[in-house]
Amino acid sequence: MKKPSKFLPALTWLKNYQASDLKSDTVASVVFTIMVIPQSMAYAMLAGLPAITGLYASILPSILYSFFGTSRSLAVGPVALSSVMTASAVLPFATAGSEQYTTIAIYLAFMSGICLLVLSLLRLGFLTNLLSHPVISGFISASALLIVIGQLKYLFGIEAHGDTLLPLAESLYTNINNTNLPTFILSLISILSLLLIRRYFSFFLNKIGCSKRAIQLFGKSGPLLVVISATLIVAAFSLENMGISIIGGISSKPLEINVEGISWKMTKELLPSAFLISIVGFIGSVSVAQSFAAKRNQDIDPNQELIGLGLANIGSALCGAFPVTGGFSRTVLNVDCGSKSPMTGIISALLILLILLFLTPLFYYLPKAILAAIISISMMQLVNIQDLLYLWSFSKKEAYLLLITFSIVMLDGMESGLIVGVVLSILFFLWHTSHPHIAVVGRLPGTEHFRNIQRFSVETNPSILTVRIDENLFFANASILEEKLQYLVSQNSDVRHLILMCNAINMIDASALQSLEKIVYRLASLGVKLHLSEVKGPVMDRIRNSPLVNNLSGKVFLTQHQAIKELEAE
The residue segments making up the domain with residue 67 are: 23-385
Closest CA to 411 of 40, 108, 145: 145
Amino acid, res. 242: M
Residue 496 CA: distances (Å) to CA of 31, 473, 528: 77, 24, 4
Q: pLDDT value at position 251?
A: 63
Q: How far apart are CA 44 and CA 179, in angstroms?
A: 24
pLDDT in tens, 343-367: 999 999 999 999 888 888 888 888 9
* Residue 425, domain member (yes or no): no
* Residue 17, domain member (yes or no): no
Q: Per-residue pLDDT for 173 more than 70?
A: yes
Q: How confident is the model at residue 458 (pLDDT cuts 50, 70, 90)?
A: very high
| 378 and 463 part of one domain | no
Q: pLDDT value at position 51?
A: 85
Residues 304-321: what's their mean pLDDT?
A: 93
Q: How far apart are CA 512 and CA 518, in angstroms?
A: 10
pLDDT in tens, 327-340: 877 887 787 777 88
Contact 219, 225 (CB under 8 A): no
- The DSSP bridge partners found for residue 451 are 442
Domain tally for the chain?
Answer: 2
Contact 408, 172 (CB under 8 A): no
Q: pLDDT value at position 22?
A: 86
555 class by beta-carbon count within 10 Å (0-12 exposed, 13-18 middle, 19+ buried): middle
Q: How far apart are CA 330 and CA 535, in angstroms?
A: 50
Q: pLDDT value at position 570?
A: 77
Q: Per-residue pLDDT for 121 more than 60?
A: yes
| 373 and 459 part of one domain | no
Contact 81, 21 (CB under 8 A): no
Q: How confident is the model at residue 1 (pLDDT cuts 50, 70, 90)?
A: very low
- The DSSP bridge partners found for residue 367 are 246
pLDDT in tens, 177-226: 999 999 999 999 999 988 888 788 778 878 888 777 677 666 666 777 88
**Among 45-54, 284-293, 519-528, which stretch is predicted with the lowest mean pLDDT?**
284-293
Q: C-alpha angle with apex 44: 42 to 50, nearest 5 degrees?
A: 105
Residues 71-91: what's their mean pLDDT?
A: 89
pTM for the model stands at 0.77
* Residue 501, domain member (yes or no): yes
Q: How confident is the model at residue 250 (pLDDT cuts 50, 70, 90)?
A: low
| 457 and 376 part of one domain | no
Q: Per-residue pLDDT for 395 more than 70?
A: yes
Average pLDDT along the chain: 87
| 340 and 215 part of one domain | yes
Residues 161-179: what's their mean pLDDT?
A: 90
Q: Is 186 helix (H, G, I), strand (E, B) or coil?
A: helix
Q: pLDDT value at position 39?
A: 82
Out of 318, 353, 385, pick the residue that ends a domain: 385
* Residue 135, domain member (yes or no): yes
* Residue 283, domain member (yes or no): yes
| 95 and 191 part of one domain | yes
| 450 and 519 part of one domain | yes
CATH number of the domain where residue 517 is located:
3.30.750.24
* Residue 145, domain member (yes or no): yes
| 373 and 488 part of one domain | no
Q: Per-residue pLDDT for 2 more than 60?
A: no
* Residue 418, domain member (yes or no): no
Contact 415, 441 (CB under 8 A): no
Each residue of 67-101: b (16+ CB within 10 Å) or e?
A: bbbbbbbbbbbbbbbbbbbbbbbbbebbeeeeeeb
Amino acid, res. 181: L
Out of 385, 403, 428, pick the residue that ends a domain: 385
Residue 56 CA: distances (Å) to CA of 73, 108, 118: 21, 15, 25
Contact 171, 162 (CB under 8 A): yes
- The DSSP bridge partners found for residue 500 are 467, 532
Tell me the backbone φ, ψ of residue 120, rounded to 5 degrees: -70, -40
Q: Which residues contact 151 (CB under 8 A, 6 or more apart)?
A: 372, 373, 375, 376
Element (H, E) at 390: helix 385-394
Amino acid, res. 547: P
* Residue 214, domain member (yes or no): yes
Out of 385, 420, 449, pick the residue that ends a domain: 385
| 356 and 470 part of one domain | no
